[in-house]
Structure 1
Amino acid sequence: MPFFLLIFFLLLIGYAVLIGYYHNAWNKLPVYTPPEDAPTASVTVIIPARNEETNLPVLIDSLRQQEYPTGLFEVIIIDDHSTDDTFRLLDEASKSWSSLKVIRMADLPADENASTAFKKKAIQAGISQASGQLIVTSDADCVFDKKWLHTIASYYQHTDAKFIAAPVVIEGKDNLLNIFQSLDFLTLQGITGASVFKRAHSMCNGANLAYEKSAFEEVNGFEKIDHLPSGDDMFLMHKIFTRYPEKVFYCKSKTAIVRTAPVDSWKAFFQQRIRWASKADSYDDKRIFWALLLVYLANLGFLILFIMGFWKPLAFFFCIILLLAKMLIEFPFVNSVAIFFGQQRRMKYFLVLQPLHILYTIIAGWLGKFGHYEWKGRKVSKR
């Protein structure tokens, strides 16, 4: 046990340094306040949708309320082989709103990677018909501040960015599942903002992204990553970062925040997180791989130490002490992110949910590497 404790202690030191780095970077990342002057950039919002009939009315209403110059933005929603009333609702909405275009993937020629890279193919189809110089992507279960596009576009013009990652928050009722998702997602958002600001590694979320159409075309879009079932966001980000390392930004602005709904079951939550974890060994950006590996091993150490306690009771003592140390390392960072997103009321649950978070990290990471997941009624295997 002494040798294991030494290794585990060194891992926790490395983890503490990593979290401290993210915390410092997040706090130094300036908050952007958009000017009142209307942006002049033309924007195309692209949203893939599969079986989203319950979310579409709220989504479309939120998009129609955008305070952006008429004629400078359009919305393209792509029906990704839905089996519900998604296409019918979209078709009806497009007849009453001229800025909305609808693409039906079932009407397009099949692609050799269409059976795996579903979302990438939908986004690619949208971009092929986009007229805007700035592509903004989101998901069908999201809602937006009225100044969302105004903020993103003005930030684009302010920075001359080629790629912009922007904030996303999970909102829902205060039950255990929703609180757990929200806290986990706040951590990911903090790491995203910090890593993009410091250009430490490529990280973003497809629910709130923007990039120049010309930059997308210059890196040949999803070429060479179009066989992968996930990663329409981070893989593309790294391709553009490789070409324009000084032109990738995180827009830390309250009016840029996209609000998304939590998944409604623990099974769906794990499937979502396994899907995210499945990308880890495909990253060209190996900097994030090593960060993820450190996080995984640090969490795995707690499980090993806990199991060892059944043979060596002293291990339980060390497990508790080191768990408290881990919480003290993480809490200030996550709390600072929660304050920005207005989610600090949920931080009171942070400590008690730590054991569950450790277990979930281990399971999702393992199955992301060796298992399979289901998403939107589709089953994808890693093997």
Structure 2
Amino acid sequence: MSSQVRLRLLPSARCLYDKPIQVKVSHLKSRQVVRIKASSTDERGVLFSSSATYRADENGEIDLVRDASLSGSYVGVEPMGLLTTLKPNIVNKLFVKDKALEPHMVKFSVHDEEEQDRMLAEATNERFLMADGVSRVSVEEGNFHGALFTPPGKGPFPAVLDLSTVMSEKRAALLADKGFVVLTVPVINEESVNVKMLHLDPFEEAITFLLQQPKVGSKRIGIISRSKSADVALSLAAFVPGVEAVVWISGCSANTVLPLFYKKKQILPALMIDMEKLIPAESGIFIAKYAMHDPLKEENRATLIPIEQANTHFLFVASEDDLNWDSNIYMMEMMERLKRHGKKNFESVCYPRAGHLLEPPYGPFCHSSFHIFLKTAILWGGVPRAHVAAEVHLWKKIQEFLRSHVTCEE
């Protein structure tokens, strides 16, 4: 390894997961061509990797904020491209980074294109989910379990319930750094493979628990949700007191897959999936966009969630290239319904060329992975560059929305 070439990660090799870094290489030969590689192993032991070829300037320097990749995992100027284009060495794998206490470790290295891929320099980026001072406590109360994240300081802070379809701490941990007390709770227990129904009562318990936390100053909570958990969030807003704001990402306007119960009574039947409408795509992968039954057909209208009865602010977020289902159509249906009821308690954003899996920014873009309900691999949709840009924009919008609607009492 050459001691001359320098690979720097700025402003620091240690940063929060949702912060960009600047990758710079110096002390190369003038106009030297090198390949920069990145690799990371997720929590399930799957290796993800990316690479891009760059030509140094006349001073022997490369700056990923300024310079364009000539070939590799992406082409053009993509400052965070080595992170967002990390791909698995096993097909149809989602990058799993759900445990807040463990950083996302990414190894970067610079290799000489002309000398049999000889390594010239290397550095490791530690991307933390928990900022300094944020606390994490595992929670098992009554009929729910999850993890509670609390910002440093006395507070008071607004409260947010993070509903994830299966347990994930990433979004909650990062939001706590932004000044929210966040409780993350899964909608589905991955161990419970034969779930036949869902109950709202445990989530109501979670809301009560969250509002009782000593640093919480808001009287009502915000909810952030995506996909299946988004229809649970809508149902909580419609049927359970205490919900001030809901962020609905890539969801449905109806109660999907599992019948929904509250106080021992079924309140919504399930909108089901027609497996025969899965569209075969690449080898062993399907497009599920048109497989869900139409909630507006007369026989399915009972599955629609009555959000018009909610005293809640909504942020609806959809993607035009969502291949899991048509979240944009569902979003438009809900907005039209609210307008018909004289409601103005919503705002919306639709991202062109983005896919279903909108996450906090700078994680690896997922092309396809296993669908927990369909029991097969599906395409999620999205063009990587546009999807990444959507995640950066949305992450700021979510924080602004929650701050403006979930406020602490004076």
Could you state the TM-score of these two structures normalised by the residue count of structure 1? 0.25
Higher strand proportion, which one? 2
Higher relative contact order (CA 8 A, sep 6+): 1
Higher percent of residues as helix: 1
